[in-house]
Structure 1
Amino acid sequence: MPTGTDATKGLTEQYTDSTLLSSVCQLASRSDVDQLAVVLRALVTEPLELVRTLASVGSVDRVVELVETALTLGLPADLTARLRCLLVELHMSAGKIGPALATAEEILGEEARGDDTVPPSVRGAVAASRTFGRYFLDAEEGRHHAETVLRAYGGEVTRNAETLAAAAVLSDALLADGDLTEGLRLARTAADAARTMPSPVWRLYLHLVLADRLVDAGAHEEAESVMRTARADIGGLSGGVELAFAHLRARLLSRQGRLAEARDEAQQALAAAVGRGARLYVPPLLASLGQLALRFGDLDGAVVFVRRCREALGDGRFPSTVYDWVELQVTEARYGPRAALDHMNRHYADRKRRTTLFMRQPGAAAWFVRTALAGGDPHWAAVAARDAARLAERNPDIRALSTAALHAGSLLAGDPDGLVRAATEDGHHWARMSAAEDLTALLDARSRDRTSAIGRGPVPPAPPEGADRTTSAALSDVERTVARLVGEGLTNQQVAFRLRRSPHTVNYHLRNIFRKLGLSSRVELARHAHLWMPAPR
C-alpha cells in the first residue's frame, strides 16, 4: 500500500481539475474506503503534509467540509478520533471559536468518561484548543481555566501542549494586571519548553508569543532574533501559523518606523486570510492596517479599515485592543477631542482596559493626556499620567514603560526636559515622534506667551472677508506654517517631510486649521491663505 504522502500526491495529481474535497468524495462514492483512509490518515498524522494540502485547497472552510464528510463514512475508530481532533484546530483557524470549543469539550468529556480512542499524541492539542477557546470567549473564565491547568501540573510549564497553551494565555492575561515582567517570564519559559516538542506548529507558536511580549517590552532586536528562529520552523508550513507570523512582523516593523514595509506585510497577510477563510486573523490585520493608515495621514483609509474591522468582529465577542485604539483615534481625528473624551468615558473608564492599551501601545498614555487637555478635561489627563507611572513602577526593568510614563507625566506638567528625554529615548517610532511634536508645541506656546507679555507680538494680516478675525489669529506658529505650505499646493506627505513630522500630525494640524477658520477644503485654504499668513522668510 502507498504511503500517506504518496497517496495524497497521487490523489491531487489524478484530479487536477478539482479540489481535494471533490476527489475524496469521488473515492467515497466508489466505496474505496481503504484508499480514503490512507489519504485522511496522512492529513492528521503528518503536519507538514496537512498544511501543504490546506494551502493547495486554498480554503479552510473547504477542508472543514472534507473532514465533516469523512466523519460520516464509518472510518476506523482511531482515525475518526484524529479527524475530530483535527476539526477542532480547523475551526479555531477559521475563527469559529464556538464550534471549536464545543467539539473539544465533547472529545475531552468522552475521554473523562472512559473513552480511550483519543491518541495521547493529539489529546494535548485538543486540550490546548479548549484553553484558547475559553479565553477567546470569556477572558476571565479562560484565565481561571489556564490557572487551574498550571496548578494541576504543580505550577510548572511542562513539555505538553495543554500547559504551554495555559502559559500563553496567562502571558497575555497578565497585561490587564499591568504585569508585563511576569508575562514576559512566562512566555520565555513556554518558548524554552516548546523547543523539544516534535510539532513545528507548537514550537513556532510559542516563539511568536515570546516575540509578541518582547515587542510589548520594546526589545525589538531580541524580538527579531526570536522571529528568525521561528521562521526557520515555518519551512513549508502555511495557513494560520504563517498568518500569525506575518501579523506580528507587521507590528514589529511599525514599531521600528518601517511603515511601508509593515503595510505591505499586513496587506499580503490580509489577502491570504480572506482567501483561505482564516477569519480569526482578519480583524487584527484590519485594525493594524487602520493604525498604519493613520500613521500615513490617511484618515479616509483608516475609517474604511475601522468599518471593515467592526463588521469582521461581528457580535464583538472577541475584543481587540488595536481595534478599540484605532477607533478612538479616528473619532478624535474626525470629530475633535471632546468627541474622543466621550468615547474614552464609554470605553476606557475601566482601568484594566486602559492598562492593557498602555501596555500594548507605547505613546497611548501621552495621547490620552494630550487629548484630555485639548478637550478641557484635566482630570482625565491626570488619570492617564498616573496609570502610566504605576505601570512603570510595577515593571522597573521595562524601559518602554518608563519612557511612556516620562512622556505622559512631562506632557501633563509642561516639562520640556522630560519631553526631550522621551523624544530621544523611546524605542517606538510613533511615540518618539509624538514626544518631539509635544516638545515643539510646548516651546511654541511658551514663545507666544513671552511675545504677548512684552507687547511685541506680530499683527496678523487681515483675514478674508467673512472669516472670524479672532479665530484666524488663534492659529499656532506650526499651524500657520502648515497652512502656508498646503496653500502652496504641497501634499500632507510633502509637508511632513519639510517639517520633519509625521503625515498623521500634519493631518491633525490641518483639521485644526479648518475648524478654526471655518473652511472645509484645501481649495478654500489655498484661495485665502495668502491673505492672512505671513510671507515665508
Structure 2
Amino acid sequence: MAVAFGMSTSTVNHRYGTANRLFPVLLLARNGALGELPPGVVEDVHAGIVYGLGDFGRQAQRIAGLLSPDGGTAERAREILSADAGTAETVVAATVLSNLAWEAGDLDEGMRWGRHAVALNGEGVPDPWRPYPCLALAEKLLDIGELDEAEVLIKAADAAAAHREDHPAAVDVEIGKGRLLYASSMFRAARRKISGTVGRAAGAGADWTTRYGLLLLALTDLRRPDLRAACDSMWKCRAEFTGDPLVRPSFAYRWCEYLVSTIGLNAERAVETFTEEYADLLDCPALFVMDAAAAPWLVRLAQTAGDVLLATSVVAAVERLAAGNPGYPTVRATALHARALLGHDTEALREAASAHRDLWAARLAGEHLRSLDRRREPARTVEAELVAVATPHRQARSEVPERAASLLTTTELRIAHLVSSGMTNQQIAHSLRRSPHTVNYHLRRIFEKLEIRSRVELATYCLREGA
C-alpha cells in the first residue's frame, strides 16, 4: 500500500516499534511508489531507520531517499544497486524497483527485480528485515497463479523469522499464509487464518499488517460470499485509514471499497459509481493482475447497464496488459474472458474458463457461459452475481474442514478442495500444472491421512465434517 510518513522521530519509533515496521511498508507496498510526503518527512524517516539499523547510518540515509517525493525513486534505487550488493539498502532498492514495475504492468521487470532482491537477501540485511523480500515476491507470484513457488518463499520467510511468534515479521508471515489460502480459493480456511492474525497484529501495534489483513478479510468475504462480513471488514479497514492521514490507500483497497459500496445497487447505479469515483482504476494495470476476475466483472456489469464505452475501455486496458506480458497465462486468460464477453463469443469463453488459474475467476467464466448459452439475462445486482458464482461451490461444500486442514500439507489441501469441487484428476493436474500421476500420488496420501478410500468418501467427509 502507498504510504506517506509525516511524523516526528519519536512518533515513528513509537508507531512502528523501531524502524523494523518501516521496512515491511517499503517492501510490501503493493504499488511501490510511496506518495507525496510532507516537507521534512524524509529526515524523520531517516532518523527512524537509523534507530532500527544502528550502525548502518549511511545505508539509512539512502533508504530514506527512496521515500523522497520528487519522482526520482527509480533512479536512486538503480544508483544504490550499481554501487553495492548484499546490503540492506540494495535489497530495499531492488524490491522498490520490483514494486514500481509491477504497478506499471511490466511483469517481467517486476519479477526480475523481485528475484534479485531475494538473491541479495543475506547476512548484510538486519535479521528482523530478512523475511520481507521473500514475502514481497510471494505476493507477486500469487497474483499470477504460481502458488507452489509462492509457498516455498513463504516457508523461507517463516524460516527467516525462526518460526518465532515474537519475531517482528511473524504476523506478516501468517498473513502471507492466509493470502496463499485465498489464492487457492480456500476461503473459509483463509478467513480463519487471516482473522486470527489481524487480532495479533493489532495487539502488536503492526498497523500496516492490520490494515492489509482487514482488506484481505473483506476480499475473502466477498468471494464466499458473506456480504455482511465483507462490509464489516471493509468499514474497519476504512476506519484504520481514516484515523491515520499519513497512509494513502492502494488500488487494491479502492477496488475492494468499490465492490462493497455497490452492494445493494442495481447495475446502472454500480456503473455510475465506478465512472464517477473509481474510473482511475482503469489506469492501474496491476489491478487486473491481482484480481483475474476484475476485468470480466466490470465488462459484464457495464453490458448489463448498457454502458458500451466502459465495457470497451476495460477490454482495451486488459488487452494492452496482456499484449505487453505475453508470457503470463493468467493475464491472457483475463483478457480472453473480457473480450469473449464483449463479443458474446461462447467458444472463447469456454477457453477462458479452462485457462483461468484463479478458480473463482474460472467459476465466474462458467457462470457467464451459462448465461450466454441460455440467453439468460445477467444478474441485475452485484450481490446476485456474487451469489450466482458461489452457489455451485456452496452446494458442493468443497472447502475441507478444520480437522483435515490440520493433517494435510498445503498442496494436499488444494487437491482435496478441488476433488471435493467435482474436478477430475486431469482437470486438477491442468489447474495446478502437475502431472496426473503426481495428483494421484497426493490423493493417495490424502486418503491415508483421513482414513478414507475414495473420492466419493472425500466429498462426503468434507460435507459431513464441514457442515
Same fold judged by TM-score > 0.5? yes
Structure 1: gaps of 5 or more residues: 1-63, 69-84, 112-117, 449-473, 503-537
4+ residue runs over 6 A deviation: 64-68, 91-95, 97-100, 491-495, 499-502
Give the match for residue 194 of structure 2.
Answer: 266
Give the drift of 1:215. Answer: 1.3
2:323 counterpart of 1:393: yes
Q: Which residue of 231, 249, 258 maps to 2:158?
A: 231
Specify whether residues 500 and 152 from structure 1 end up closer, same or farther in structure 2 by C-alpha distance, changes over 3 A only. closer
Amino acid at match of 1:332: T
Hey, what's the Cα distance between the residues in 2 that align with 1:492 and 1:210?
30
Give the drift of 1:106. Answer: 4.9
Specify whether residues 222 and 499 from structure 1 end up closer, same or farther in structure 2 by C-alpha distance, changes over 3 A only. closer
In 2, are the aligned partners of 1:291 and 1:302 still within 8 Å (CA)? yes
Q: Which residue of 263, 270, 277 maps to 1:340?
A: 270
Give the match for residue 205 of structure 1.
Answer: 132
Give the drift of 1:223. Answer: 0.9
Specify whether residues 422 and 192 from structure 1 end up closer, same or farther in structure 2 by C-alpha distance, changes over 3 A only. same
2:343 counterpart of 1:416: no
2:88 counterpart of 1:88: no
Alpha-carbon deviations, 1:381-438, whole Å to 9, x = none?
A: 1111111111111111111111111111111111111111121221112111111111
Greater C-alpha Rg: 1
Give the drift of 1:225. Answer: 1.5
Amino acid at match of 1:173: L
Q: Which residue of 425, 448, 465 maps to 2:355?
A: 425
2:280 counterpart of 1:350: yes
Hey, what's the Cα distance between the residues in 2 that align with 1:494 and 1:352?
29
Give the match for residue 124 of structure 1.
Answer: 59
Give the match for residue 93 of structure 2.
Answer: 166
Alpha-carbon deviations, 1:111-149, whole Å to 9, x = none?
A: 9xxxxxx95446435643553x55xxx6xx4x6224323
Give the match for residue 248 of structure 1.
Answer: 176
Specify whether residues 366 and 107 from structure 1 end up closer, same or farther in structure 2 by C-alpha distance, changes over 3 A only. closer
TM-score w.r.t. length of structure 2: 0.70
Alpha-carbon deviations, 1:167-193, whole Å to 9, x = none?
A: 212211223321111101100011011
Specify whether residues 475 and 175 from structure 1 end up closer, same or farther in structure 2 by C-alpha distance, changes over 3 A only. closer
Q: How does 1:46-445 map to 2 (within 5 A)?
A: 87-89=18-20, 101-106=42-47, 120-121=55-56, 123-125=58-60, 127-128=62-63, 131=66, 133-134=67-68, 141=70, 144-154=72-82, 158-197=85-124, 199-235=126-162, 236=164, 238=166, 240-314=168-242, 315=245, 317-350=247-280, 353-445=283-375
Specify whether residues 129 and 212 from structure 1 end up closer, same or farther in structure 2 by C-alpha distance, changes over 3 A only. farther
Hey, what's the Cα distance between the residues in 2 that align with 1:158 and 1:237?
30
Hey, what's the Cα distance between the residues in 1 that align with 2:11 and 2:314?
49
Give the match for residue 465 of structure 1.
Answer: none
Hey, what's the Cα distance between the residues in 2 that align with 1:305 and 1:191?
32
Hey, what's the Cα distance between the residues in 2 that align with 1:367 and 1:294?
13
Alpha-carbon deviations, 1:416-461, whole Å to 9, x = none?
A: 111111212211121111111111111111xx6xxxxxxxxxxxxx
Hey, what's the Cα distance between the residues in 2 that align with 1:444 and 1:253?
34
In 2, are the aligned partners of 1:150 and 1:157 still within 8 Å (CA)? no
For the aligned residue pairs, the C-alpha RMSD in angstroms reads 3.7
> SS state of the match for residue 268, structure 2?
helix
Q: How many correspondences in the alignment?
A: 369
Give the drift of 1:242. Answer: 1.8
Give the drift of 1:336. Answer: 2.1
Hey, what's the Cα distance between the residues in 2 that align with 1:209 and 1:169?
10
> SS state of the match for residue 349, structure 1?
helix
- Higher relative contact order (Cα pairs below 8 Å, separated by 6+ residues): 2
Specify whether residues 151 and 418 from structure 1 end up closer, same or farther in structure 2 by C-alpha distance, changes over 3 A only. same
Hey, what's the Cα distance between the residues in 1 that align with 2:78 and 2:12?
35
Structure 2: gaps of 5 or more residues: 1-9, 27-36, 400-467
Give the drift of 1:227. Answer: 1.5
In 2, are the aligned partners of 1:362 and 1:428 still within 8 Å (CA)? yes
Hey, what's the Cα distance between the residues in 1 that align with 2:299 and 2:137?
30
Hey, what's the Cα distance between the residues in 1 that align with 2:25 and 2:139?
22
Give the drift of 1:201. Answer: 3.1
Give the drift of 1:196. Answer: 4.6
Identity %, equivalent residues: 26
Specify whether residues 431 and 129 from structure 1 end up closer, same or farther in structure 2 by C-alpha distance, changes over 3 A only. farther
Hey, what's the Cα distance between the residues in 1 that align with 2:215 and 2:59?
32
TM-score w.r.t. length of structure 1: 0.61
Hey, what's the Cα distance between the residues in 1 that align with 2:329 and 2:75?
28
